[in-house]
Chain A
Amino acid sequence: MNIFTIPVRNLRRKILRTALMLVIFTIGVLSMVAINNVSRVVGDSFEKKMNQFGANILVYPKADTLKISYGGFDLGSLAYDIKYLHESRVVSSINNIELKKNIGAVAPKLVLVKRLLGQSVVMVGVNWQEELKIKNYWGIKGKLPEKPDDILIGSGIAEYFKIDNNSVVEIESILYEVTGVLEETGSDDDSVIFMDIRHLQSISGMSDLVNFVEVSALCSGCPIEDIVEQISGKLPDTDIRALQNVVKQRMSAKGFVEKLAGTVSLVIMLTASCMIGLFMFTSVNERKKEIGVLRSMGYSRLNVFNIFCFEALLIGVIAGVLGYFSGFFVSFKVLEILKLGEDIVIHFRFTRFVTTFLLVTLISVAASVIPALKAARVDPSEALVML
């Protein structure tokens, strides 16, 4: 028996009210945990999907001259001082950085100018598997190339040369089958011809050489600058550029989801804490006589303050634990219903649990501070006049 016996027994006596308070606060915590878990998964999923819409890091040979580039590609180096990267070294270096888990795709490119029907055309050699990871927005009329001498042509090329899929074209004495035509993308892709990078390297005598490498990095949990720095460390003889606008666009989209979740959580927790505050105010008003009797027995203002704060603390502790675990369960169910995050698992993290628990307890106690102060200020003589 000590000072905590009083609030514990009081909560037990008013079991219905205690249960209602617990339910309200638990629902608040549950919603906060579930919203945050779901938003994190949705955000990650969103980011993954966004990363499929193009690269956000470019790796290209170091140039000493002023760069002239457009669309992320260095035109100056292509036109006058052509330098190449070694594909195998670059790709393996990028895939072995410390933050390799954040690397979504590494797509090397070899860009050459060839002749088609008497006109110069740009041929881009790509690794189909990696390319499709960053360009899954591509719409293809026909199908993807399967054989080394299959090609995919941009809509502009198809229109200019009046070529359709399943056509056979001759490029510098080699016959190629056009397996597909890209639907208009509004980008450089409309006016180039894509083929297997190995084949292009082979027919051009440029084995293992590439002009540049596009990298799609997942930026959640780390700034893109860190990834760039790590790639630079592995490839000091290259220029690496982060397409900040692309990254910022993606991060702002993800940030929006997180901010929305944060705001909703805040509103829910504020409402729940207001309810706790109201309950405590009612409790103080109802128990004025009790407070008067306690004060007449020598209980200090601090003792009375502690009794009410401890009641709120108990509510916070129980609601924190119940709310966290039920919120965890609910987030699984919500993701299941929304069919989201199939490949993303929500892990139980002890530190996150402790942080949430402490935060909820703090909010609960903070919500009861004003009512507890009111209780502590009860003048015993005034309270006892009511007796």
Chain B
Amino acid sequence: MLVADKISKTFHSGSVENRILKNISIKIDTGQFICVVGRSGSGKSTFLNILSTLLKPDKGSVVFEGQDITTLPENKINSLRQRDFAIIFQFHHLMPYLTVTENVLLPYMNKLMPVPKSVIRRAEECIDRVGLGARRNMLPGRLSGGEQQRVAVGRALVKSPEILFADEPTGNLDKKTGDEIISLMKNLNNEGLTIIMVTHELSYISCADRVVVIEDGIIKEVSADSCY
């Protein structure tokens, strides 16, 4: 369970103050699929970055598994990012010089010791899962945009995270490919993965358990209909 309590965030640009989030609170249960929507510049991505530890709030707390992750030391945040949280960005941001398998294994490649064989096997399973089994030795440059985003999903899945954060994962894809990615994410959610997704595509909100609208720095929650 992830609980955000009275989060505030203000950005400063010279003497101009831009208060993006104003005392936002939310409780996300395990296994939920949350869609965060809102106008451009409303603070959706800031909200997601705070929940996923990439950004610290000015005020408030984010509690995950009983501890406030906004006050954790850097080494604990690193292990949280490595073990429990996974993030997918609008642009896949794969390493162009690594193969599909290596990109998926990237979260485990920060050690001097070689990646264990069991992890490599799991990575191959993830690649199969996202439908790229035949392309595991290819470099990202030879894949289509949708396939590259699938690799990014595979990279997020390999560590079996508790929560998957997705910041407009379909924003750079055509409708058909975007649908495929959302469908893949919904399947993962059906298997128990908690997903918090920022999107501006209102057509995808129907697949969410909850829809959160951020407007003028505060949250308004709306209900979601059935999904694909």
Please list the residues of chain A having a beta carbon within 8 angstroms of any beta carbon in chain B.
1-6, 9-10, 12-13, 289-290, 293-301, 303, 380-381, 384, 387
Cα–Cα, bound, A1→B110 (Å): 10
Residue of B nearest to A8 (CB): B97
**Is B183 engaged at the interface, CB distance under 8 Å to the other chain?**
no
Cβ A9 vs Cβ B98 within 8 A: yes
Cβ B107 vs Cβ A298 within 8 A: yes
Cβ A297 vs Cβ B102 within 8 A: no
Cβ B89 vs Cβ A380 within 8 A: no
Question: Which label, helix, strand, loop or mixed, suits the secondary structure of the A interface?
Answer: helix
**Is B39 engaged at the interface, CB distance under 8 Å to the other chain?**
no
1/0 contact string of B81-97 vs chain A (CB within 8 Å): 11100110111010111
| Residue from B79, B93, B107 within 8 A of A289 (CB atoms) | B93
Cα–Cα, bound, A297→B89 (Å): 12
Contacts of A300 in B (CB 8 A): 74-75, 78, 110
**Is B114 engaged at the interface, CB distance under 8 Å to the other chain?**
yes
Cα–Cα, bound, A12→B139 (Å): 13
A and B contact pairs by CB, cutoff 8 A, 28 listed: A2-B113, A3-B109, A4-B112, A5-B98, A5-B102, A5-B109, A6-B95, A6-B98, A6-B109, A9-B95, A10-B97, A13-B97, A289-B93, A290-B93, A293-B89, A294-B106, A295-B81, A296-B81, A297-B81, A297-B82, A297-B155, A298-B79, A298-B80, A298-B81, A298-B83, A298-B107, A299-B78, A384-B89
Residue of B nearest to A297 (CB): B107
Cβ A387 vs Cβ B78 within 8 A: no
Query: Which of A1, A3, A4, A387: most chain B CB closer than 10 A?
Result: A1
Cβ B109 vs Cβ A296 within 8 A: no
Residue of A nearest to B155 (CB): A297
- Chain B min CB distance to A386 (Å): 10
Q: How many residues in B have their beta carbons less than 8 Å from beta carbons of A? A: 35
Query: Which of A294, A295, A298, A381: most chain B CB closer than 10 A?
Result: A298
Residue of A nearest to B89 (CB): A387
1/0 contact string of B14-56 vs chain A (CB within 8 Å): 0000000000000000000000000000000000010010110
Contacts of A295 in B (CB 8 A): 81
**Is B12 engaged at the interface, CB distance under 8 Å to the other chain?**
no
Contacts of A9 in B (CB 8 A): 95, 97-98, 102
Cα–Cα, bound, A12→B102 (Å): 15
Given contacts A296-B81, A384-B89, A387-B89, contact A290 B95 (CB under 8 A): yes
Contacts of A387 in B (CB 8 A): 89-91, 93
Cα–Cα, bound, A301→B105 (Å): 19
Cβ B109 vs Cβ A293 within 8 A: no
**Is B115 engaged at the interface, CB distance under 8 Å to the other chain?**
yes
Given contacts A1-B102, A290-B93, A293-B89, contact A381 B49 (CB under 8 A): yes
